[in-house]
Structure 1
Amino acid sequence: MWRTLFVAALLVLAGCATHAPGTEADDDRSAAHRALTSEGTPDRPNPWGEGELTVAINNTANESRNFRPLVSDALAFWSNNSTRFAGFPLSYELAPNASNPDVIIEFVDSIESCADVAEPAGCAPYVTGGQVSRPITIEVVGSYDNASTRLILKHELGHTLGLNHTARPQSVMAPTSQLRTLPRPNATQRDLPWADANFTVYLDAGRTDDPAATREQVRRALDYYADGANGTVPENVSFRFTDNRSAADVVVEFTDDLPCRTGDSGSCGRVRGNDPDGDGALERYDHLRVTLSDIDTEAVGWHVGYWLGYGFGFEADAEWPAPFRNATYEERREAWWR
């Protein structure tokens, strides 16, 4: 049996500014302020008007997690590099419970809005000059791992120094980065490995001898799982056919040659999804492709039913419902769904 996992890298906005570069908040800077020194360093004044900022921490995302070392690392980065990349020296005093800070770093479960960006990992004001209304707040989603959280913090702090998404260093200020979350349960460890229990199914039965009978076989498999598959899947699962292959959650297709092997009739299953914590195992599925070749029409439902189990995260033989465990040639062609 061919089982292939497609790991999709999670590409997330590493942060955005509440005022985008090029808006009115940025346009009043003189040409001299946008110039570079002979060494390629920005030549512009400190928008804060002072050389040291007090930074506090507000953690509403995960009270058991200590974010202070990560914030300290990010602040140390800009203390050592603000002159080189922002054009002025700056240092920080980290006082997590400060009563009158210049900057508050707030760790949150999610960011509701940030410059019309979908699902940002962080958000900060874009500080370019003039009067700064203190304290400013930087929001950071608190569910990323340590390395990703450090990157998000550096990125957002860069915005508070007047750096936009084209600024150096691009390893920090690029608008998107590959981020990893804290460890999450793998798809095979979840009762439902999908984000939604309502599935759309595309059936490509045009190459079969009896498309109507083939569709009925597939429907039997879908109904079996919609009824709970003998208690092996959640009760709220549903399926409906769609004519839009590209938008379907499940695709059932028939080919002359199987992508997983050659020379025999049979079937293959492949799942696709995402791996946000970067552990090499998918945490959620978003697509199941079932491929059949040279299968008797009476056995189509059994093969589709087997691979639906794979799509629900079954791994060991004992996890599949009884009809799919060591079924004989004849049993695959009988009314197994009864």
Structure 2
Amino acid sequence: MPNRSSGVAVAAGLALLVVLAGCASPVAELPATEPESEPATTTTVGASPTTTGSTARTAEPTATTPSGTPTATPTAVADRRSPWGDEPIVVSVRDTAGTGREWTPLVEEATAYWEASAERFAGFPVDYAVRPDASNPDLIVEFVDTVPVCEGADDAAGCAPLIEDRRQITRPETVYVRTGFSDDSTVRIIEHELGHTLGLRHDDAPQEIMASRSVLYTEERPNATERAFPWDDADFTVYVDVANASDPAGAREQVRHALEYYEDDAPGMPTNITFTRVDNASDAEIVVRSAGTSPCGSGAASCGETRGWDPDGDGAIETYSQLRVSLVDLDTDAVAWHTGYWLAYGFGAEEDADKPPPFRDADYDERRSEWWT
């Protein structure tokens, strides 16, 4: 029975800014170590948050460049008048997506921000009356599954009309907010969109609110280690580099045995796993490599590293995007076992008791046997 050392490394979610409604890619990685004197220890490394920006629909730009790009007419913030008039802006709340979530407190938090900040940044004071079921509101904050195409973005987190003059207003105006984000991120989206209804553009202050790029986190999701299968699907691209192995051809054959073991429905593993070889590690979801210089812990014969997404910003991966297996100075006939061990780990069996039988307390000879047959 191997002597295992322990050590866990966790990467916090890092901020990744995305223009408008783009998508994110992993930006953070920590070295990880795993089985022992053969495999070392088990550790999961972190990734980045999934991010989505919010944008606004521009209504009647005040000026246009020859190319048709909207440009802002300079405004003296100090002497602006509210396009909404002096009465409180009545805001209703609609859960068009049918989530049943309590949105009103989030809208109230966003409107309170502008009640305290509008005079400084928009040039006039503003008051809101949030009445969720108002029959004749000035403004509707509508929570939707998908925001209508907005300023050319088809995956925006929010959308609102840019209102700079009272003649632009057709009551009720509508602010769209996409569902699925955390409370804090939802408030940020609403604040951003309400800023547009006060005449503020993406290049205006306060930039922490009005910037067209923003880090947004989803509602809480199960971590990868809490999910039965922590990948988006079971069709994997694989890159194998065993050039540093003592017997590259033999090591490659051993890796093939490990992959086929899972394609043939390994016990306790998903039954629809497939592997497609690729020629570039950057294109692979699974990378198996003989290490020239060991990235593993002292005395470790192999280690595994998972990378992935942290869309809810809790510092833990929710979905894996890559598994890297490093093989260190292994006997050729042990390569398949170490590869298979880390594949089981990456497929959701973090504990040895949850892995297929060949990887539970295997001794020296068992690791070098034809265990896949």
Structure 1 position 164 matched with structure 2 position 204: no
Deviation digits for residues 49-76 of structure 1 (CA, Å, limit 9, x no counterpart):
5543221111134543211111111111
Q: How far apart, CA to CA, are the structure 1 residues paired with 2:248 and 2:148? A: 48
Q: RMSD across aligned C-alpha pairs, in angstroms?
A: 2.3
> What letter matches 1:261 in structure 2?
G
**Structure 2 vs 1, CA of residues 111 and 213 (structure 1 numbering), >3 Å: closer, same or farther?**
farther
> What letter matches 1:81 in structure 2?
S
Structure 1 position 285 matched with structure 2 position 314: no
Q: Point out the more displaced range, 281-290 or 73-82.
A: 73-82
Q: Point out the more displaced range, 325-334 or 178-187.
A: 178-187
Equivalent position of 2:22 in the other structure: none
SS of equivalent residue, structure 1 residue 300? helix
Equivalent position of 1:16 in the other structure: 55
**Structure 2 vs 1, CA of residues 329 and 112 (structure 1 numbering), >3 Å: closer, same or farther?**
farther
**Structure 2 vs 1, CA of residues 128 and 69 (structure 1 numbering), >3 Å: closer, same or farther?**
same
Q: How far apart, CA to CA, are the structure 1 residues paired with 2:45 and 2:242? A: 25
Normalising by the residue count of structure 1, what TM-score does the alignment of the two structures yield? 0.89
Q: Give, in angstroms, the shift of residue 245 of structure 1.
A: 1.3
Equivalent position of 1:137 in the other structure: 174
**Do the aligned partners of 2:310 and 2:317 also contact (CA within 8 Å) in 1?**
yes
Equivalent position of 2:159 in the other structure: 123
Equivalent position of 1:204 in the other structure: 241
Q: How far apart, CA to CA, are the structure 2 residues paired with 1:3 and 1:92? A: 53
Equivalent position of 2:262 in the other structure: 225
Structure 1 position 176 matched with structure 2 position 216: no
Deviation digits for residues 100-147 of structure 1 (CA, Å, limit 9, x no counterpart):
222111112333533333643222222233322332222222222222
Q: How far apart, CA to CA, are the structure 1 residues paired with 2:352 and 2:72? A: 70
**Structure 2 vs 1, CA of residues 255 and 112 (structure 1 numbering), >3 Å: closer, same or farther?**
farther
Equivalent position of 2:228 in the other structure: 191
Structure 1 position 74 matched with structure 2 position 110: yes
1:226-305 map, 5 Å:
226-230=263-267, 232-262=268-298, 264=299, 266-305=301-340
> What letter matches 2:58 in structure 1?
H
Q: Give, in angstroms, the shift of residue 179 of structure 1.
A: 2.4
> What letter matches 2:131 in structure 1?
A
Q: Give, in angstroms, the shift of residue 302 of structure 1.
A: 0.9
**Percent of residue pairs bearing the same amino acid type:** 48
Equivalent position of 2:343 in the other structure: 308
**Do the aligned partners of 1:10 and 1:276 also contact (CA within 8 Å) in 2?**
yes
Q: Give, in angstroms, the shift of residue 236 of structure 1.
A: 2.1
Aligned mate of 1:59, from 95, 103, 106: 95
Aligned mate of 2:74, from 15, 27, 34: 34
Normalising by the residue count of structure 2, what TM-score does the alignment of the two structures yield? 0.81
Equivalent position of 2:358 in the other structure: 323
Deviation digits for residues 84-110 of structure 1 (CA, Å, limit 9, x no counterpart):
111122211212112222211111233
SS of equivalent residue, structure 2 residue 287? strand
SS of equivalent residue, structure 1 residue 261? coil
**Structure 2 vs 1, CA of residues 115 and 234 (structure 1 numbering), >3 Å: closer, same or farther?**
farther
Deviation digits for residues 278-301 of structure 1 (CA, Å, limit 9, x no counterpart):
222210000111111111121111
Deviation digits for residues 237-275 of structure 1 (CA, Å, limit 9, x no counterpart):
21111002112101111123321223x361010001111
Q: How far apart, CA to CA, are the structure 2 residues paired with 1:119 and 1:42? A: 35
SS of equivalent residue, structure 1 residue 127? coil
Number of corresponding residues: 327
**Structure 2 vs 1, CA of residues 178 and 242 (structure 1 numbering), >3 Å: closer, same or farther?**
same
**Do the aligned partners of 1:33 and 1:45 also contact (CA within 8 Å) in 2?**
no
Aligned mate of 1:113, from 149, 155, 158: 149
Structure 1 position 101 matched with structure 2 position 137: yes
Q: Give, in angstroms, the shift of residue 322 of structure 1.
A: 0.5
Q: How far apart, CA to CA, are the structure 2 residues paired with 1:332 and 1:116? A: 56
Equivalent position of 1:5 in the other structure: 44
For structure 2, the 5+ residue unaligned runs are 1-33, 35-40, 65-70
Q: How far apart, CA to CA, are the structure 1 residues paired with 2:329 and 2:337? A: 14
Equivalent position of 2:5 in the other structure: none
**Do the aligned partners of 1:62 and 1:142 also contact (CA within 8 Å) in 2?**
no
**Structure 2 vs 1, CA of residues 158 and 13 (structure 1 numbering), >3 Å: closer, same or farther?**
farther
> What letter matches 2:287 in structure 1?
V
Q: How far apart, CA to CA, are the structure 2 residues paired with 1:246 and 1:33? A: 46
